[in-house]
């Protein structure tokens, strides 16, 4: 609990993007990704334009490029998958440097790489500029069921606590000379997982009782009702609208 209550991807700041209401940003990011996904893959320049758009947002949010690029690393497993694709896909083949590659596979790899990277970059930007609580309230304002939002907020709030508990159990195991080396040690690890479940569940019961004793009756009070002005909406939706123009150009050209 010592680590503050911001999540790992959040980057504190006071830029115009940080100040936008969370639900407008959520809607904008989602619309942007939808537009990107429905762009034809042959329009390579369109993806370059999308990247420029995202770079502009990053600049407006004063998120440094290094930060953004480092967070993109989460995508690496799919890069590996995309690299495999030209080798296994069907269709006509071209020879590059003595390797026989499928044309369709190359297009597919490009498609997944470009769209996936843009999608990840959009979510990273969203997460970097939006605080956790705002994000959850934003989801609620976007008409996600309140119960789901509550579950999500409990998960986020106690995620660190539970992870810490798991870390302490690991330290306890290791300080007793245990080192998991193979399948034979799964029993011990699974017992830890079981104990972790019991602790989480019991903590849930205690949290519930604590909340009830403070007047919880099924819904969390919203103290700061955030509303978005028309200007804020249009500011946030500038990104997907610009993307939509690019997308339409991509389809027609």
Partner 1 sequence: MHVPDGFINAPTSAAAGVVAAGALAVSLRGARRELDERTAPLAGLVAAFIFAVQMLNFPVAAGTSGHLLGGALAAILVGPYTGVLCVSVVLLMQGILFADGGLTALGVNITDMAITTTVVAYAVFRGLVKVLPRRRRSVTVASFAAALLSVPAAAVVFTLIYAIGGTTDVSIGKVATAMIGVHVLIGIGEAAITALTVGAVIAVRPDLVYGARGLEQRLKLRVNGELVDAPAAEPAPAPVPAAARSSHRKLWITGLVASLILAGFVSFYASASPDGLEKVAHDQGIDQKEKPHANADSPLADYGVKDISDARLSGGLAGVIGVGVTVVVGSTVFWVVRRRRTDSDAPGSSVSQAA
Q: Tell me the number of residues near partner 1 by CB under 8 A.
A: 85
Q: What are phi and psi of 2, to 5 degrees?
A: -75, -5
Q: Pick from 78, 133, 241, 244: which binds partner 1 (CB under 8 A)?
A: 78
Of 247, 242, 248, 251, whose CA–CA distance to 54 is shortest?
Answer: 242
Q: Pick from 157, 178, 226, 238: which binds partner 1 (CB under 8 A)?
A: 157
> Contact region for partner 1 (CB under 8 A) — 24-32, 52-60, 222-230, 236-244?
24-32
Q: Pick from 28, 29, 61, 137: which binds partner 1 (CB under 8 A)?
A: 29
Report whether 102 contacts 86 (CB < 8 A): yes
Degrees to nearest 5, angle at CA 219 with 30 and 141: 25
> Contact region for partner 1 (CB under 8 A) — 51-59, 161-169, 224-232, 236-244?
161-169
Report whether 218 contacts 208 (CB < 8 A): no
- In the complex with partner 1, the residue whose CB is nearer, 126 or 236, is 126
CB of 183 to partner 1, least distance (A): 7
Q: Pick from 52, 69, 83, 148: which binds partner 1 (CB under 8 A)?
A: 148
197 binds partner 1 (CB under 8 A): yes
21 binds partner 1 (CB under 8 A): no
> Contact region for partner 1 (CB under 8 A) — 6-14, 48-56, 93-101, 233-241?
6-14
d(CA 119, CA 127): 12
d(CA 34, CA 122): 11
Strands (E), the chain: 93-96, 99-102
Of 59, 62, 54, whose CA–CA distance to 118 is shortest?
Answer: 54
Residues 93-132 that bind partner 1 (CB under 8 A): 104-105, 107-109, 111-112, 114-116, 118-120, 122-124, 126-127, 132
67 binds partner 1 (CB under 8 A): no
- In the complex with partner 1, the residue whose CB is nearer, 209 or 229, is 209
CB of 52 to partner 1, least distance (A): 18
Residues 224-253 that bind partner 1 (CB under 8 A): none
Report whether 128 contacts 11 (CB < 8 A): yes
158 binds partner 1 (CB under 8 A): yes
Q: Pick from 55, 60, 142, 207: which binds partner 1 (CB under 8 A)?
A: 207
3 CB burial (10 A radius; 0-12, 13-18, 19+):
exposed
Residue 218's region, left for phi above 0, alpha for psi from -120 to 50, else beta, is: left
d(CA 201, CA 181): 29
45 binds partner 1 (CB under 8 A): no
């Amino acid at each position: 609990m010592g680590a503050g209550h911001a999540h790992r991807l959040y980057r504190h700041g006071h830029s115009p993007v940080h100040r936008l209401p969370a639900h407008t940003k959520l809607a904008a990011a989602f619309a942007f990704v939808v537009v990107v996904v429905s762009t034809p893959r042959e329009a390579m320049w369109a993806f370059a334009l999308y990247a420029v758009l995202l770079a502009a947002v990053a600049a407006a949010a004063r998120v440094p490029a290094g930060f953004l690029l480092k967070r993109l690393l989460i995508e690496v497993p799919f890069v590996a998958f995309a690299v495999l694709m030209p080798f296994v896909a069907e269709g006509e083949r071209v020879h590059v440097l003595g390797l026989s590659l499928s044309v369709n596979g190359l297009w597919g790899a490009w498609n997944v790489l470009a769209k996936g990277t843009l999608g990840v970059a959009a979510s990273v930007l969203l997460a970097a500029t939006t605080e956790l609580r705002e994000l959850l309230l934003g989801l609620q304002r976007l008409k996600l069921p309140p119960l789901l939002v509550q579950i999500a907020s409990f998960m986020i709030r106690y995620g660190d606590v539970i992870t810490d508990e798991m870390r302490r159990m690991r330290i306890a195991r290791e300080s007793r000379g245990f080192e998991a080396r193979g399948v034979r040690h799964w029993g011990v690890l699974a017992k830890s997982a079981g104990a972790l479940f019991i602790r989480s569940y019991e903590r849930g019961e205690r949290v519930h009782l604590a909340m009830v004793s403070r007047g919880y009756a099924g819904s969390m009070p919203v103290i700061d009702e955030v509303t978005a002005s028309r200007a804020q909406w249009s500011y946030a939706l500038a990104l997907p609208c610009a993307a939509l123009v690019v997308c339409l150009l991509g389809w027609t050209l």
